[in-house]
Amino acid sequence: MRSPLYNHFYYCWRNETVTLDQLGRAVEKEFITGKEKEEITKTELKKEMSIDADK
């Protein structure tokens, strides 16, 4: 079973609103586990899609 805050940190990582250091602090504070941190950081970051009518 995942930690209650796993999804929060997962989506923050994907959206680049949390840093590797902050994930480390989340592990220290036991918000997520070290294994979950590894899983999260292996996830690709979300790429912004630009809407450009000229292209």
**Does the residue 4 lie in any domain?**
no
**Does the residue 53 lie in any domain?**
no
**Does the residue 10 lie in any domain?**
no
Which residues are within 8 A (CB) of 18 and not within 5 positions of it... i.e. 6 or more apart? 9, 12
Q: Report CA Rg, the chain.
A: 14
Domain count within the chain: 1
Q: What pLDDT score does 25 carry?
A: 99
Residue ranges making up the domain that contains 31: 17-43
Window from 4-18, 24-38, 40-54 with minimum mean pLDDT: 40-54
9 conformational bin, left if phi > 0, alpha if psi -120 to 50, beta if neither: alpha
More confident residue, 2 or 51: 2
Distances (CA, A) of 40 to 21, 51, 54: 13, 28, 36
**Does the residue 32 lie in any domain?**
yes
**Does the residue 7 lie in any domain?**
no
35 touches 13 (CB < 8 A): no
**Does the residue 30 lie in any domain?**
yes
**Does the residue 25 lie in any domain?**
yes
Query: Predicted confidence band at 46 (pLDDT cuts at 50, 70, 90)?
Result: confident
**Does the residue 24 lie in any domain?**
yes
Give the mean model confidence (pLDDT) for residues 31-44: 96
